[in-house]
Amino acid sequence: MTRMRSVLLASAAALVAVGLVGSAQAADQILSGTITSAAGQKLGGITVSAKREGSTITTNVYTDETGNYYFPALPAGKYRVWAQALGFDTAKGEVDLSANKHEDFKLATITDPEKRWRQLPGEVMWASLPESTPDDAIAKTIIHNNCNGCHTPSYPLQFKFDQTGWTRIIDLMKVIGGGGVPLDRPANQIIQMNEKLVASYLAKVRGPNSVMQIKDRPRPSGDAARVVWTLYDVPRVQGAGAGALGLAKPDVDGSDWSQGTPSKIGLIIHDDNMDMQGNLWFTSNSPNKVVSVGKVDAKTGEVTYKKLAKADGSGYAAGTHGITRDAQGHFWFDINPGRRSLGELIPAAGKPAQDAELHVYPTPETMSPLGGAVTMDVDGKGKIWASAPDGVLRFDPLTKEFTFFKDSAVKRSFGTGGTYGAAGDRYGNGWWAEMGFDIIGKADAATGKIKEIKLPEVPGIKDKMTPVQLAAYDKVTDISTGNPYPWAQGPRRMGTDKNGDVLWVGNSWGSTLARIDVKTDAVKIIPFPEKGMQPYHISVDNNHNVWGNLWTADEIFRYNPGTDQWTTFPLPVRGTEIRHLTVFSQPDGSVKISLPVYRTNQMALFTIRSESDITKLRQQVASK
């Protein structure tokens, strides 16, 4: 009890230090202001961001229904402040909180159609693309499944090309596999047979003379407008990500939406978690010579690295991907010094990442290593579950023993699969996703047996196809994670309700959730409000709410299964491509969420203020 009380007090102190909880006494000043249109209309749901001079931390809030905004208490100093919303030019200002605590903005409507288009998140771009004819609908589905499965549509669609230009891009992309290098796979068969259709469609919607009719989304309100986002910059590393191809550092960072979506050059973050003191940790699967696992100090924003060198003497860091945390505060992740193994990292409280204790546990040579798009989870019995290329692995932290549950058939007549997400339920059973095959695997911990659960097809897709088109898919032999059937659901990363009997799976291609009863294996498919919403990773809080990232939409979501209510929370930056998020349930029923913001190379912390929190801030501002 004493240790737990100390941990809770330390965590609370760290969160107060970054201005997420507590009163104005935790820092010097409260920045507030009013946002109006050029005509004087007060605007709710406007994103307002503030970054202190010399700091790597950006705090972001939203205006209320009366157009007023209130930051949590911030350290005194000089700040850049900017406000933005879809359809408006970004307004920018500077304020010295030592002298002035109020900054108003007037937002002017964007008149340039291309600038207006460029500021859109991927999901709004996607919703704006036409699908009125069967050919348009098929082309859009192919792009959704085969292109949006690897990057947000807001990056390529911010540019314009004629049909020849789009064809050249497709010719390159169809031979790029998971390694991200041209010619590292045979030409994608589904893209190959639909190339002319897709190129023609892209030239129509994003050709030299096209003008899109935008289907906008509403600005945040309610819970979504009471969010505080704290973003921590992580330095881009020369030679990492697309920088390995010799490309220059990008000049767009995602903070000003009108500049468009940033590239992936120099990225080193992938998945996330939070330690017992409230600091953020991340994995890195981009080749680099600096970091295997990184830490962001939540109070100062300082970034430190823990590196395990690869065994080949190259000087490169061993890559990592998925990460989870157990009840003792130990992190578990995959790490690849030469053979992809299980890593255990024990943070040193108050110390940089390099002082953490690191252990590496390879699987026996007779057993598959960790692999696939590795996802980690801790089940209700304290065992660690991790993806393997051909199934799922369970690790006992006490005995240091692995148990392997092998997929029934990774290679099939129509293609080669592989594990994507993995999870453990409260009974100690394991689950994994065969994304390319629309199959969920179940490992019974008591019997050692496995079971396959087949997800239903996305309805309506086949109805738009001619018999000739349908017959062509009977000849495809390279169905995989990155090359699905047009009617595929695409189960990705999953999360179990540790206080219930449900596995929740995010289906990226179907834009759905799969609800699976862990006792009966019954499946229910729940569509998202918009077809372009692509879930990636799922986490469930203590109140049974389902949280996940909409990785091409610059949003995270909350789904309440009891009321069937969806809430989306936009991020304050553009082009995020979030692959992971971690939900931390608080004793008062609220949540704190950490997540990597991928294209901007930042770590983020998310909280929702209550109405009483906002009321207190209003009163403090009014009393000054």
- The per-residue DSSP string of 268-302 comes to ----EEE-TTS-EEEE--S--SS-SEEEE-TTT--
pLDDT tens, 150-163? 889 999 999 999 99
Strand ranges inside 191-226, DSSP E? none
Q: Residue 243: its pLDDT value, please?
A: 53
Helix, strand counts (H, E) of the chain:
8, 37
What does R_g of the chain's alpha carbons equal in angstroms? 24
Query: Has residue 100 got a pLDDT over 90?
Result: no
Average pLDDT, integer, range 526-539: 94
Return the residue matching tokens 């930056």. Answer: 573
Q: Are the C-beta atoms of residues 569 and 233 closer than 8 Å to each other?
A: no
For CA atoms 71, 72, 78, 79, the dihedral sign is negative
C-beta of residue 235 within 8 angstroms of C-beta of residue 600:
no
- 451 φ, ψ to 5°? -140, 145
Correct CATH for 2-111+614-623 of 3.40.50.720, 2.60.40.1120, 2.130.10.30, 3.40.50.2300? 2.60.40.1120
For the packed helices 189-205 and 134-146, what is the interaxial angle rounded to 10 degrees? 120
* DSSP string for residues in 508-530: TTTTEEEEEETTT--EEEEE-SS
Q: Is the pLDDT of residue 507 over 50?
A: yes
Domain 371-521: CATH superfamily is TolB, C-terminal domain (2.120.10.30)
Do the Cβ atoms of 550 and 559 come closer than 8 Å?
Answer: no
- Sort strands 57-62 and 47-52 into parallel, antiparallel or unpaired: antiparallel
How far apart are the two ends of the chain, measured CA to CA in Å?
Answer: 42
- Arithmetic mean of pLDDT, 189-202: 95
Query: What is residue 20's predicted lDDT score, i.e. its pLDDT?
Result: 41
User: Residue 444: is its pLDDT beyond 80?
Assistant: yes
Q: What strands lie across the sheet with 491-496, from one edge to the other?
A: 491-496, 502-507, 512-517, 523-527
Copy the structure tokens of residue 302: 């300082």
Residue 497 to residue 569: CA distance in whole angstroms: 21
Q: Which amino acid is at 226?
A: R
Using the predicted structure, report yes or no on whether residue 24 has a pLDDT greater than 50. no
- What is the average pLDDT score of the chain? 92
Q: Kindly indicate the confidence band of residue 263, based on its pLDDT and cuts at 50, 70 and 90.
A: confident
Measured CA to CA, the distance from residue 340 to residue 371 in angstroms comes to 7
Sign of the torsion angle spanned by Cα atoms 490, 495, 497, 503: positive
How far, in Å, are 231, 301, 326, 495, 585 from residue 547 at the CA level?
19, 26, 19, 9, 12
Name the residue type at position 533: M
Predicted confidence (pLDDT) at residue 11 exceeds the cutoff of 50: no
- Interval 470-499: pLDDT, tens: 999 999 999 998 899 999 999 999 999 999
Supply the pLDDT for residue 179: 57
Q: What angle do CA 588, 594, 597 make, to 5 degrees?
A: 150
The answer to whether the beta carbons of residues 401 and 450 sit under 8 Å apart is: no
DSSP assigned state of 582: E
Q: What is the pLDDT of residue 238?
A: 79
DSSP 309: B
pTM: 0.92
What residue spans define the domains of the chain? 2-111+614-623, 115-205, 371-521
- The whole-number average pLDDT for the span 578-602 is 94
Q: Report DSSP state, residue 377.
A: E
CA 509 vs CA 169, 473, 485, 543: distances in Å = 22, 17, 10, 27
* Both tokens assigned to 184: 């590292």
Name the nearest CA neighbour of 379 among 276, 498, 493, 492: 498
